[in-house]
Amino acid sequence: MSIFSYIRSIYALDTIDTRFTNSSGTPYRTVIDNRAENAVANAKRDDSIPGAGVRTDHSGRPIAQPSNWKTPEFYFYYFVFITIVPYMFWVAYDVSRPSDPNYHKYEALLSPGWIPGRKIDVSDAQYHSFRTNVPYLALLLTFHPILRRLYDAFRPVPSRSNSPKPNGSSYISVADGDARLEQRASFDFGFAFIFLTALHGFSAIKIVIILYINHCIATQLPRKYIPAATWIFNICTLFANELSGGYKFEKMAHFISPLDGVGLDSSSALHSWGAWLDSYGGIMSRWEIQFNLTVLRLISFNLDYYWSLDRRGGGAIEKKQLDPSNLSERDRISTPPSAKDFSFRNYFAYATYAPLFLAGPIITFNDYISQAKYPPASIEKSRTIKYGIRFLLCLLAIEFLLHFDYCVAISKGNPDWSDYTPAQLSLLSYFNLHVLWLKLLLPWRFFRLWSLVDGIDPPENMIRCLSNNPSTIAFWRGWHRSYNKFLVRYLYIPLGGASSRTWVETVRTIFNYVVVFTFVALWHDIKLNLLIWGWLIVLFMMPEIIAGILFPRKRWENNLTAYRVLCGFGVVGNLMMMMMANLVGFAVGVDGLKSIIHGIFRDYSGLVFLVTASCVLFVGIQVMFEVREAEMRKGIFLRC
């Protein structure tokens, strides 16, 4: 493989996650076994040409369209990209130079940079925290897998002479799978106590208590009460964690024994003891901030356990005649483990699994147990190395961006938006969203990398770059994808999913969206901005849903080029609404957005800029469409 082919493979969808290029119903071992004989055919594959195995539309023609990359239309688009994209960076850089009149307002928010002559904007608290802790996280990524291998060496899986061993194509027996689960879960269980204590100090006790109560809800309540009790308990836990500030020991001491002059000595001792416990809060004393992700794992365990009770009449593996060591992703998620695997030890090991504890991605309990028993074939050393390289490239990208574009510091420096031109306002907001995207991408990719090194393959959270999303609905399928999969499995489908066959079903679908995004907003944080953001997302989905009903693709199958152009015009407005919603939720808030919009439209130049920006967006959208067509020509049909 040449150096250019290797670089290209780093950016392949398959490098990010094998789930993107293979059916969720196909075991990945089968893909590996057929890889050599399919390599040539896949390289030449073109699903825009009719043939066997090609997905077709209602008229029997291929869904994938012939390539447009070498057409005059797209040569014009290349010219726009070559000229406009550098200009976009220049506009943001120009207002981030020391010579800018407003530089003094945010200079104090900048830090010394490693690029000569430039400071760096690390005023975003989340990215600053991640950036500061990268060396310590790298040590964890190195030593945690080493500790596991040492543990495995001192407590090896017992060998069985009558049990086939894994040798590439053969399987791991059920007995070996159980032994491997025993080994892995025992290590994860023990390491979790060390990890939680280091992270949260004595507050680890609070986490253990919450986990224990949740486990009791699943295993001790009558079956019919489990779903409702699970959701009520965990949503109440989110509110209680926020409102109580993490249940400070000193506050609990005041509640148990108020200082009212009676029993003063004993009360003072209790309060002092509570304050002493609070003083040992570990590396992250505010444990409740990161606990939102753990809540999702608690819900996953309880509902997986609840659904498993329907299948206790016989093993699902035996009924489907599946090889438990070679399950597809769909079967790993939907097939419950045996009753004994729902033990408190396995549950605790899953809920506090170190690589995924702080930021995810989210993996279901069923999937965790399956991968703990049988090593997933999708984890290959070469792919993991390329995934690690891609993470480093993303880290380098945000570092360069924050050295030359101070969009976050500008927004935090009490700016007078009237000092900026419409182009400057819009592009500062645009790059602010990209910083938001990158600061979330990096922790998710890092912790998934750690998990891959440790032998667990969770879903990738980010499929597309922020600038490669022409659909609001598809955007939310690809943004925080493991969370989206969680919502679909545990909330959206139980609510009834989506349907637009009748107006009643359409209204119900909208109601389901409102419920889901209200939960999403409250789950992120109990703030009005985020609640408004959640409702804005649903509101801004409506035009796309309505347009999909009024202009279905099947009516345009004889003129798909006109349909592509029509969709492009619609998506321009869609993207603007999506950017506004995310600015409200995660960047400048409602007041900041009002100021930005007022600044853009304060004179005629704002309207001129809006028309120009819409044309540029249209060009970008056509390229987004063609990227997806290129994937479909290779047989990859992603819904985002």
Q: How far apart are CA 274 and CA 203, in angstroms?
A: 11
Residues with Cβ within 8 Å of residue 74, at least 6 apart in sequence: 68, 622, 623, 626
Angstrom distances, CA of residue 15 to CA of 9, 10, 11, 216, 624: 7, 6, 7, 40, 20
Q: Find the DSSP H helices in 221-359.
A: 226-244, 249-256, 264-279, 287-308, 316-320, 329-334, 344-351, 354-357
Give 120's strand partners.
111
**Strand 111-112, strand 119-120: pairing:** antiparallel
Active-site option among 58, 254, 524, 598: 524
Q: How far apart are CA 459 and CA 17, in angstroms?
A: 7
What is the Cα 38 distance to its own chain's centre?
31
Identify the burial level of 461 via C-beta atoms within 10 angstroms of its C-beta, where 0-12 means exposed, 13-18 middle and 19 or more buried: buried
Helix or strand holding residue 119 (H, E): strand 119-120
> Quick count: other Cβ atoms within 10 Å of Cβ 295?
19
Give the type of residue at 418. Answer: S
Helix, strand, or coil here: 637?
coil
Longest CA–CA span in the chain (Å) reads 88
Structural contact between residues 19 and 609, judged by C-beta atoms closer than 8 angstroms: no
Question: Within a 13 Å sphere around the CA of 419, how many CA atoms are in the beta-carbon half?
Answer: 12
524 catalytic? Reply is yes
Angstrom distances, CA of residue 375 to CA of 171, 351, 449: 11, 19, 16
What is the Cα 340 distance to its own chain's centre?
31
Give 119's strand partners.
112
Token pair 């291998």 is found at 149
The C-alpha angle with vertex 443 and arms to 442 and 447, in degrees rounded to 5, equals 120
Identify the CA nearest to 97 among candidates 388, 424, 524, 520. 424
Q: How far apart are CA 529 and CA 585, in angstroms?
A: 5
Q: How far apart are CA 637 and CA 640, in angstroms?
A: 9
Catalytic residue numbers, as ranges: 524
